[in-house]
Chain A
């Protein structure tokens, strides 16, 4: 099961592990097709399309699949109580995690800081 977006879909924990180990910068938005999540996917699609962050792999993952526990159970997400959970990985490690809706400006600020 995947989300209805134009982003790369991650469907398993193994696929996510492989992705974050093969790319220096990875941004994964883990959510549903809900009101707080859709704007984040939209911003990610625009950033990907813009080419300004070619060094970043943008991806999504459906929050409710069992394999998404790899994100849901991250210590960085322990206090999160709002969708989506958005994780920024650098060199295979979590560099930043956010909860709930984020604007394109907020995402850009984080990417600029991390990348």
Chain B
């Protein structure tokens, strides 16, 4: 078993920032990420509002954060599948597919993942008509009829963006109103290529080798209608990656980790930072802030008279 002062679960902006602060404070730090280190920010084509930096890609920003953390001494392991945890005691134990690690404190910063509809046919047609990235795959649908699922800012902004390629864009939303900002709604409503189907859910994606249509159920009368579409872009928000931690720390009813203002959970020595915790705003800068506070909270905990009493 390898021992560290602190193990950080998640290598996005929150986890990397915490790693930078802790390793600068001469703590031995291990950062484990189940996917590629960088978190959701690597899925962003352009970050234009990170203070002090000109517009750059999310991948570049995450790479710089990772490099900085490594230079200060963090050990960083990506694609490390988490298997189990024992976080209750003074000695925290994390087991992954490739090994067992222990530490005196843990920061959970695993972020979230794009929410999926959860239909079997959704998996079947991923990459064959279904996409979660308009800027990546929009040009595959030039001159075609497509649908966008969702009613928030991402859905409406991407629907407008997709009209550069598609012949028509039908926005399908489960409610009778949108959750997006007024300007995003107005821009979508004013676009002649966009139409709307409200209070409806997609219940099935259809096609053979690739997507050719969707079955849409009206939530009021239950009637199912078929709509031809060769593309479906899904933007229905994010889910926190807390499934693995539900037995370890307290979660909100939205499955987000509950913390105090120092990012401490209800388990001594276990902290949470970034999109995984209950909060209102989720930005790169707020994740960085969370990571900083969590690191300082961990230092307080480790330097306290008796960590178990905090």
Contact = CB atoms under 8 A, between A and B. Distances in A.
Interface of A: 32-39, 42-43, 46, 78-83, 98-101, 103-105
A86 B45 CA distance: 21
B65 to A, nearest CB: 15
A105 B81 contact: yes
A98 B36 CA distance: 19
Contacts, number: 75
B181 to A, nearest CB: 23
B35 A98 contact: no
B42 interface: yes
Nearest to A107: B79
Given A33-B57, A35-B42, A46 B127 contact: no
Interface in B110-157: 126-133, 135-137, 140-141
Given A38-B59, A42-B36, A81 B42 contact: no
Contact of A82 (B35, B135, B136, B230): B136
A33 B57 CA distance: 9
Contacts of A101: 127
Given A81-B210, A81-B231, A82-B128, A43 B133 contact: no
B44 interface: yes
**Which of B36, B127, B231 has the most chain A CB within a 10 Å cutoff?**
B127
6 contacts: A33-B57, A81-B127, A81-B137, A99-B127, A99-B128, A103-B79
**Which of B133, B140, B211, B231 has the most chain A CB within a 10 Å cutoff?**
B133
Contacts of A42: 36-37, 78-79
Contact of B45 (A35, A81, A104): A35
Contacts of A82: 126-128, 130-131, 136-137, 140
A72 B257 CA distance: 44
A39 B126 contact: no
B192 interface: no
A89 B43 CA distance: 28
B128 A79 contact: yes
B210 A100 contact: no
Contact of A39 (B42, B131, B141, B231): B42
A8 B211 CA distance: 33
B296 to A, nearest CB: 30
A104 B35 CA distance: 8
A105 to B, nearest CB: 7
Interface in B192-210: 209-210
A91 B166 CA distance: 39
Contacts of A33: 57, 59
A46 B11 CA distance: 15
A32 B128 contact: no
A111 to B, nearest CB: 14
Nearest to B42: A38
A46 B98 CA distance: 14
A52 B221 CA distance: 56
B148 to A, nearest CB: 15
A105 B43 CA distance: 19
A2 to B, nearest CB: 15
Given A79-B128, A81-B137, A81-B210, A35 B36 contact: no
A97 B35 CA distance: 21
Contacts of A83: 136-137
B79 A81 contact: no
Interface in B175-225: 209-211
A38 B36 contact: yes
Contacts of A36: 132-133, 136-137
A53 B13 CA distance: 31
A82 B234 CA distance: 13
Contacts of A34: 45, 133, 135-136
B79 A46 contact: yes
